[in-house]
Amino acid sequence: MKNTLFLIAALLLIFLNSCYSIEFIPEPDYANLRRADVSTVELRTTAPTRPVHRLGYLMVRDFSGNVDDPGFQSMLQSEIMNRGAEGGWIAEKNMHSRPTMTTGSRASSQNPNASAQNQVMETGTVSSDIGILKILLFNYKDSERQKRPAPQN
C-alpha cells in the first residue's frame, strides 16, 4: 500500500511538472499584422531594440517554471510561429506557490496505525509552484510587407 501511494504521488508530481496552459490575447490589429511566411522565430529575454508591431500576448502557465528547458523553448517557439510572429519577448516571469496537497490512506490491515475504518492517516504532502510567463509577440516594422486588407466577414 505504501509503495502504491508513493507511486501515485510520484506520478502526480510528474504530471504537474509537465503540464502547461497557453492563452493568446491578440491586439486589435492582429489580423492585419500577423504573417503567414514566418520561417524562424526569435525568443528574447530582453526587449527588442528595433521598432516592432505588437501582435498580442501569450500567457503561459507552466507547472515547472523552467524557461531554460530546450523542450519548453521549442514549444514556445512553435506557438509564436503558429500565431504569425517573428519573435516573442518574455516580458514577465512570475512564480506562484500552489496550495500543498496532503496525501493519505484509510485504515486497513496493511495500515494498522489508523484505528477506525473511516480514519485517514496522513502519508505525505505534495507541493508545486506554477510559473506564469507573459510573452509579447511581435513582428519587426522594417521587415513588414504591404499590409494586407482585413478579411471581410
pLDDT digits (tens, 9 = 90+) for 109-120: 555 555 555 566
Task: Report yes or no on 149 lying in a domain.
Answer: no
- Least confident range from 26-30, 73-77, 97-101, 143-147: namely 143-147
pLDDT confidence of residue 146? 40
Task: Report yes or no on 74 lying in a domain.
Answer: yes
pLDDT confidence of residue 87? 95
Per-residue pLDDT band for 33 (boundaries 50, 70, 90) equals very high
Task: Report yes or no on 150 lying in a domain.
Answer: no
Q: With helix as H, strand as E and coil as C, how does the chain read?
A: CHHHHHHHHHHHHHHHHCCEEEEEEECCCHHHHCCCCCCCCEEECCCCCCCEEEEEEEEEEECCCCCCCHHHHHHHHHHHHHCCCCEEEEEEEEEEECCCEEEEEECECCECCCCCCCCEEEEEEECCEEEEEEEEEEEEHHHCCCCCCCCCC
Task: Report yes or no on 152 lying in a domain.
Answer: no
> 130 lies in which domain range?
2-143
Task: Report yes or no on 113 lying in a domain.
Answer: yes
pLDDT above 80: residue 136: yes
29-46 average pLDDT score:
92
Task: Report yes or no on 23 lying in a domain.
Answer: yes
Per-residue pLDDT band for 95 (boundaries 50, 70, 90) equals confident
Mean pLDDT of the residues in the chain: 76
How far apart, in whole angstroms, are the C-alpha atoms of residue 29 and residue 141? 14
Task: Evaluate if pTM is beyond 0.85.
Answer: no
Number of domains in the chain: 1
Is the pLDDT higher at 4 or at 27? 27
Task: Report yes or no on 148 lying in a domain.
Answer: no
pLDDT above 70: residue 46: yes
pLDDT confidence of residue 126? 66
